[in-house]
Chains A and B, each alone.
Chain A
């Protein structure tokens, strides 16, 4: 019964979204405040319906209701509770429901911030948002209904894909979707501005927190997915340039560019048309990412949906929204007024360069991901574009961007002085170059890329630190005064510096992988395998039987230069219901580096295959991403952005005051 109610609530949400789309749009055209006021009310109602629907599905999972097809296919009564919950979105239908749930949630937040958003802008924005909701609700209801019943009910479920039974992958999709869908708000605001034909710094101030928040979550989601692939897939890599990873990297790159260009627009009223275009492109790439993963156009380790009917539907949505919004852009953008002059050498100029490089990097990932598909469709020729291509083209675009980053961050607005700026950074240059030379000398004969990359990362970290120091301290300032000044700096300045330092940390972590050591061998109990400074001894192999899988765990003692420093357990699991094996790498964290072992097949002589890695500083890759997201979060708490924060209902004035 609850399941049918959930299904019905979804259909109701579709009807309400139609109202949320049509009435406010008409109201904004007719300048009728009563019609415009329908937007927030209907947005809240749509959210309530979809939330109810989502809870109904969650309840079906929690109670192992095997009369629901979706639950049968993706759950099992013996599955741990956390995976019963994450199983809701660990499948195609449920993940689409999560997608619209987040979409509606954001719509609801826009709806309750009516104090800070001009009424007309809010009405148009919510209408555009409703259009996206309508498309995805139609998609779910017609092709991917999670509430389909199965008669007779099954006795037991088929279990969730074992690769997804992992805490990392339980929270990866929600984080990623909050990021993807967060950009839908920037997109809706951009379309609303185009519909209205007017855009100014207020627009940028309203949109910026959304972009920042979406970006921070997308960063976390990508980092989470990368760490998951690192420890679960068992071959020690952390980024594979897999099409599904690229699908999330493209909106991230575009979103990073958007985040920076809205700064220019907010502060200097410049780059308006470009910012609007970026907002459209970023969400288009989020839609494309959803399409690539959901349609089964690319089958890879990540995808779990292959269905041409769905593919065609999502392609339709893609064409409608990307084509529609770009057409709207082409029609209305020339009417937008440009403003804000600046010299090429200025903070604005630096941010233009930032956008140029990020957009080019994004285009590179885009063409590399889609070119093989396009070529095959057009000529039938099959080629592969993989990691070697991306490393070759992507790195030359990112390195200059990173080299310019501390300079750009230090340049003055409007008209900067390049030499003066470089002078403010001389200590940073000196220290980074010195550190690079020292590292190079100590590791002479090793890979050259590592000291160079770490030097670059250090330069970014020091450059960010320098920004805070020079803004709060000058020669002769007492320390107490400097500290007070530093505390008084705007949160956005802190956020920027912290996020940029995070980029530096990630760069250090990536560069240090060049120092990694790998050893492959087969061990019997009591035998040792050496990889660099580390050595492992196979103690025993323990068979275990758990609720929904069996495993063989190899217990390894880890030695560092002959001294015992700990043990690690590396597992090979077989999930019984699906008959699917997985590996769980054994990891021992030493400082910021990790000793990593994955076990392979038992050899005929009774030994067991072991792949051993030492990965120095590898944790910095993800710590850096976390720091980037934290920087975004701190920026979000900046005073001037708090204007955009939701206001409690009782503080709200009666909203039917005729605007304008």
Chain B
């Protein structure tokens, strides 16, 4: 009954941010710590990029309880995660797995750094000649005018 009431209250105030409710916390602190760690990496599927640890939506609460249930049943962290991925798809992971579909995502930082570094190095090596800046048309005209002045004066 207590649980049902808590659920009801959570539904009523679903926009108030409170996340983990006192009633959800596991007795075993080591297990609870693992539960929090796993929760921080799981997405609340109905929220915008929020982890279930931070979200107060009903679904997040269900998932938090599910995670704790699996942990109490003796699952390892990886087993809990793969259980949730099987159920909800990869969408549930806030850190996507490395694979063909996320190749570009994971490799971009390294690629940009390496290619950018090579580019900068190449640009520095090229050492452009410190060519005296050529005159543009206006400047040439002005110079010609000055020179012809000089000529006419002499």
**Are B18 and A234 in contact (CB-based, < 8 A)?**
yes
Bound-state CA distance A367–B90 (Å) is 18
Q: A560-601 CB contact bits vs B (8 Å, 1 = yes)?
A: 000000000000100000001111000000000000001111
Minimum CB–CB distance from B90 to chain A (whole Å) comes to 5
Given A242-B49, A300-B48, A301-B48, do A383 and B17 touch, yes or no (CB 8 Å)? no
Minimum CB–CB distance from B1 to chain A (whole Å) comes to 8
Interface-facing stretch out of A280-288, A335-343, A494-502: A335-343
Given A397-B113, A601-B13, A604-B6, do A383 and B104 touch, yes or no (CB 8 Å)? no
- A window 643-660: CB within 8 A of B: 660
**Are B101 and A367 in contact (CB-based, < 8 A)?**
no
What is the chain A residue whose CB lies nearest that of B36?
Answer: A518
**Are B116 and A360 in contact (CB-based, < 8 A)?**
yes
For B22, list chain A residues within 8 Å (CB). 520-522, 600, 603, 609-610
For B18, list chain A residues within 8 Å (CB). 234-235, 583, 598-601, 609, 611
Interface-facing stretch out of A173-181, A212-220, A386-394: A386-394
Q: Is A142 an interface residue (CB 8 A)?
A: no
Given A386-B49, A387-B94, do A581 and B13 touch, yes or no (CB 8 Å)? yes
For A603, list chain B residues within 8 Å (CB). 2, 6, 9, 22-23
Q: Is B40 an interface residue (CB 8 A)?
A: yes
**Are A601 and B6 in contact (CB-based, < 8 A)?**
yes
Interface-facing stretch out of B65-73, B124-132, B143-151: B124-132
**Are B21 and A601 in contact (CB-based, < 8 A)?**
yes
- A window 339-389: CB within 8 A of B: 339, 341-342, 344, 349, 352, 356-357, 359-360, 363-364, 367-368, 371, 375, 379, 381-389
**Are B112 and A386 in contact (CB-based, < 8 A)?**
no
Given A242-B48, A298-B48, A363-B112, do A371 and B105 touch, yes or no (CB 8 Å)? yes
Minimum CB–CB distance from B108 to chain A (whole Å) comes to 4
Bound-state CA distance A385–B92 (Å) is 10
Bound-state CA distance A245–B130 (Å) is 44
Q: Is B74 an interface residue (CB 8 A)?
A: no
Q: Is B86 an interface residue (CB 8 A)?
A: no
Minimum CB–CB distance from B8 to chain A (whole Å) comes to 9
Q: Is A99 an interface residue (CB 8 A)?
A: no
For B41, list chain A residues within 8 Å (CB). 386, 388
For A388, list chain B residues within 8 Å (CB). 40-41, 94-95
**Are B109 and A240 in contact (CB-based, < 8 A)?**
no
Bound-state CA distance A62–B62 (Å) is 45
**Are A602 and B9 in contact (CB-based, < 8 A)?**
yes
**Are B54 and A363 in contact (CB-based, < 8 A)?**
no
Minimum CB–CB distance from B64 to chain A (whole Å) comes to 12
For B17, list chain A residues within 8 Å (CB). 233-235, 583, 598
The total of interchain contacts (Cβ-Cβ below 8 angstroms) comes to 162
What is the chain B residue whose CB lies nearest that of A342?
Answer: B124
Give the number of chain A interface residues (Cβ < 8 Å): 64
**Are A397 and B109 in contact (CB-based, < 8 A)?**
yes
Bound-state CA distance A352–B90 (Å) is 38
Chain A binding surface SS class: mixed
Given A359-B112, A392-B95, A397-B113, do A386 and B13 touch, yes or no (CB 8 Å)? no
Bound-state CA distance A360–B112 (Å) is 6
Q: Is A421 an interface residue (CB 8 A)?
A: no
What is the chain A residue whose CB lies nearest that of B93?
Answer: A384
| Other-chain contact of A383, B101, B117, B121, B138 (Cβ < 8 Å) | B101
For B89, list chain A residues within 8 Å (CB). 382
Minimum CB–CB distance from A379 to chain B (whole Å) comes to 7
Of residues B9, B96, B133, which shows the largest number of chain A Cβ atoms within 10 Å of its Cβ? B96
**Are B113 and A367 in contact (CB-based, < 8 A)?**
no
Minimum CB–CB distance from A282 to chain B (whole Å) comes to 16
- B window 109-124: CB within 8 A of A: 109, 112-113, 116-117, 120-121, 124
Q: Is A457 an interface residue (CB 8 A)?
A: no
Bound-state CA distance A397–B117 (Å) is 13
Q: B32-72 CB contact bits vs A (8 Å, 1 = yes)?
A: 00000000110100001111001000000000000000000
Q: Is B20 an interface residue (CB 8 A)?
A: yes
Q: Is A241 an interface residue (CB 8 A)?
A: yes
| Other-chain contact of A600, B16, B54, B93, B95 (Cβ < 8 Å) | B16
For B117, list chain A residues within 8 Å (CB). 356
Bound-state CA distance A363–B105 (Å) is 10
Of residues B22, B112, B116, B133, which shows the largest number of chain A Cβ atoms within 10 Å of its Cβ? B22
For B91, list chain A residues within 8 Å (CB). 382-384
**Are A386 and B19 in contact (CB-based, < 8 A)?**
no
**Are A384 and B9 in contact (CB-based, < 8 A)?**
no
**Are B19 and A235 in contact (CB-based, < 8 A)?**
yes
For A165, list chain B residues within 8 Å (CB). none
**Are A300 and B54 in contact (CB-based, < 8 A)?**
no
Bound-state CA distance A241–B51 (Å) is 11
For A392, list chain B residues within 8 Å (CB). 95
Q: Is B10 an interface residue (CB 8 A)?
A: yes
A-B complex: 6 closest residue pairs judged by Cβ atoms: A386-B94, A300-B48, A600-B18, A388-B95, A522-B22, A234-B17
**Sample of 13 further A-B pairs with CB below 8 A, known A356-B120, A359-B112, A397-B109:** A235-B17, A241-B49, A337-B133, A356-B116, A360-B112, A367-B105, A367-B108, A371-B105, A384-B91, A386-B95, A388-B41, A581-B13, A611-B18
10 contacts between A and B (CB under 8 A): A339-B133, A357-B113, A360-B112, A375-B101, A382-B89, A397-B113, A520-B22, A522-B22, A580-B15, A600-B22
